[in-house]
Amino acid sequence: MADDNKPTVWLGRSYPLGATVTPEGTNFAIFSQNATGVELCLFNGPDDTEPSARISVKERTDDVWHCFLPGIGHGQLYAYRVSGPYDPAAGHRFNDSKLLLDPYAKAIAGPIKWCDEMFAYQFGGDDADLHPDTRDNSAGMPKSVVVANGFDWNGDRKLDVPLAESVIYEVHVKGFSKLCPEIPEDIRGSYAALGSDFAIEYFTKLGVTAVELLPVHHFVNDDYLEKKGLANYWGYNSIGYFAPHWAYSSSGYLGDQVREFKEMVKRLHAAGIEVILDVVYNHTGEGNHMGPTLSFRGVDNASYYRLVGDDRRYYMDYTGCGNSLNMMHPRTLQMIMDSLRYWVQEMHVDGFRFDLASTLARELHEVNRLSAFFDIIHQDPVISRVKLIAEPWDVGEGGYQVGNFPVLWAEWNGKYRDCIRKYWKGDEGNIGEFASRLTGSSDLYQSDGKRPYASINFITAHDGFTMHDLVSYNEKHNDANQEGGSDGDSSNNSWNCGAEGPTEDTGILALRQRQIRNFLTTLLLSQGVPMISGGDEFARSQAGNNNVYCQDNELSWFSWEQSPEQHQLTEFVSRLIQFRKTHSVFRRPKFFQGRPIRGLGIKDIMWFNPDGHEMSDEEWSVGYARSMGVLLSGLGMDVRNFKGEPITDDTFVVLFNAHHEQIEFKLPRIKNSRAGWEMILDTNLPEGFLTAKTRHSAAAPIPVEARSIVVLKHGLSREKATQQVQ
């Protein structure tokens, strides 16, 4: 600093964007193509309304405004004021009376304090947004934080778990630990809690290979929700694509959320658990033309957002959230790619799940598989090598794109979810699709050269009923959201098993538990990648609310005061995951071919009816059929290890009965083998897995109780069977 307390200002550089710390000071760079002026404001404290210094940024290179401040370093608070035309009809909404967050801020100091000044227009009337508001918003605007990148990763490296080997656990950072008595109270609900000894032991014992975190990019807690005493719990309202959300930091120190996030990742990696982020690059928290001005809108509205062609006052909205980012602008694409690379290279995350990913693929209007977004990601040497998972739909016309994302991408398979729910609900005419979904959805992925692991299989997720509520409610019960029941999906394919909500009927309760075991067994034994919604392993309930996006309270948080039945279910899920990991036939990296296995008289996969005969074409179309069996041979996987040695497994039969009555199945015979079948699992049993070996001959029928699954393993060892085939 100079003697007159005014900072020394050097020219600086236009790259990288954001605030970049060097040994000499900090470089500041912000893109705005249409601005006429940029002012950088420094602050001493997060609640300060008057800056300690105001720097007019003079240098402009390729539409990037930049300067360098010697002596400024980690922890410095800052914000911008950007000048330019306020002309909504032309797409411009500049207003230099409003402080703005840096679009590249690596940390943001706290929440928005809502007031009228957070909006860049004068309230009143339908055309209010056409008239600028000149009041200062400093009292309500959080500040960006300068963050240095240094951190001791202590040898942390990419785990690179093959997607085919993955078991994903979708979880909310705060909700997982907020009520957990095993975690110190002062860190509950934080990144530190998710990386705690308790959490790591829990994930490890459960057996998951990755946690998929609901949004952790800094997000906006909406004004209208706060006025109703609610909150944006899920976080699908991003405003800072480089900044970990401030509220998940246990310490509260400026910028400490970055260090704490990194520590969480390092500890999870040390336990062999990957970290996948749910990212929201399709829209921002600034909403539609009547929304607040927080960052992008005031920095360069016409560049960052998709605007309606004829009247650029309005926004294209493919997300239902008021706006869509402009994927056709190179600087917007650059920001997204810079963000993705930052989270991989600096924060060490292992992949991303892209919310409403169809929006990212839209160029003019239609979803385009060859869009610039895909082109850039596929050629990027960093992003192309991590896990890329699409939510393959948005709310716009033609937005449902399940099965249509290109190679390198896996997809949330919404068709899997809907089909499995319908099957166990007892819907007719569903067995053909059920067989396809169980075996990796080759109808969606095989023709494009993709593998079964392109399908992220799930039955429940954060959005919708929990597994408990899926079998306990026919209707959504969203009164707590204060939206008159208009929110949340009304088509849930759920079945309450005979009573709506809580009941003391022991028969209904037993059926619900069996249905949960059916769903989880189907999920973990399906080809593809299973994703478990956090809490389903112990039947967490949300009291029938299928849209708890605004419920930051005990309705959404995990309850760790669990019944013996809940502990038993968790143990069952853990054993299911271990069973899947032990037997590669349930996680094949290639699709089944129906190929005969020489010498055994079977194929790599065989579907058969209760009489033990292979299913005929006519039987697949029988509407009332709800039961069938499948033989999966571990000798026909056509897979080799790195040494070129064939990988083999045992042979299994899985019997599915979604009827309301018991069905007896005849088992297929293995040629030249006198060995029988060993029952491994029966979802009719509360514990699921059998505690003692129960052997059955192929000649004796196997009774499968109503709405149950039975799994049997053939007694011929894989080693002996391999020798026999050879």
Q: Which residue has the tokens 């947004």?
A: 129
Nearest of 271, 263, 220, 234 to residue 108 by alpha carbon? 220
Nearest of 648, 555, 564, 637 to residue 603 by alpha carbon? 637
Distance between CA atoms of residues 474 and 628, nearest Å: 26
pLDDT (0 to 100) of residue 370: 57
What pLDDT, in 10s, does the model give residues 348-386? 999 999 999 988 888 756 777 657 888 899 999 999 999
Distance between CA atoms of residues 295 and 218, nearest Å: 12
Nearest of 81, 123, 118, 75 to residue 102 by alpha carbon? 81
- Strands laid side by side in the 605-608 sheet: 605-608, 627-633, 651-657, 708-714, 677-682, 689-696
- Token reading at 520: 């989880």
**Residue 655 is inside which H or E element, if any?**
strand 651-657
C-beta of residue 402 within 8 angstroms of C-beta of residue 411: yes
Choose the CATH number for 592-723 among 2.30.42.10, 2.60.40.1180, 3.40.1010.10, 3.40.190.10.
2.60.40.1180
Exposed/middle/buried for residue 37 (C-beta within 10 Å: 0-12, 13-18, 19+): middle
Domain ranges of the chain: 592-723
pLDDT (0 to 100) of residue 365: 66
Q: Which residue has the tokens 């990763």?
A: 153
**Residue 567 is inside which H or E element, if any?**
helix 564-582
Query: Is 212 an active-site residue?
Result: no
Strand-strand pairing, 708-714 and 651-657: antiparallel
What pLDDT, in 10s, does the model give residues 448-501? 889 999 999 999 999 999 999 999 999 999 999 999 999 999 999 999 999 999
What's the residue count for the chain? 726
- Strands laid side by side in the 108-109 sheet: 53-57, 37-43, 77-83, 143-145, 108-109
pLDDT (0 to 100) of residue 639: 74
Distance between CA atoms of residues 334 and 58, nearest Å: 23
pLDDT (0 to 100) of residue 200: 98
- Token reading at 383: 């992003």
Distance between CA atoms of residues 176 and 193, nearest Å: 9
- State residue 41 phi and psi, 5-degree precision: -115, 130
The torsion of the CA quartet 536, 542, 548, 551, rounded to 10 degrees, works out to -120
What pLDDT, in 10s, does the model give residues 97-133? 999 999 999 999 999 999 999 999 999 888 999 999 9
**Residue 677 is inside which H or E element, if any?**
strand 677-682
Residues 6+ apart with CB under 8 A from 23: none
Distance between CA atoms of residues 136 and 140, nearest Å: 9
C-beta of residue 51 within 8 angstroms of C-beta of residue 39: no
Q: What share of the chain is helix, strand, coil (3-state, %, to 5)?
A: 25, 20, 50
C-beta of residue 210 within 8 angstroms of C-beta of residue 577: no
C-beta of residue 410 within 8 angstroms of C-beta of residue 454: yes
Spot the catalytic one: 260, 355, 469, 536: 355
The fraction of the chain above a pLDDT of 90, given in percent, is 83
Residues of the chain with pLDDT under 50: 1-3, 725-726
Query: Is 391 an active-site residue?
Result: yes
pLDDT (0 to 100) of residue 408: 93
Spot the catalytic one: 170, 274, 286, 391: 391
pLDDT (0 to 100) of residue 1: 40
Strand-strand pairing, 651-657 and 627-633: antiparallel
Q: At what angle do helices 564-582 and 506-524 cross, to 10 degrees?
A: 20
Q: Is 397 helix (H, G, I), strand (E, B) or coil?
A: coil
- Token reading at 65: 């405004």
Measure Cα distances from 112 to 138, 147, 304, 655 in Å: 10, 20, 21, 55
C-beta of residue 546 within 8 angstroms of C-beta of residue 555: no
100-101-106 Cα angle (round to 5): 165
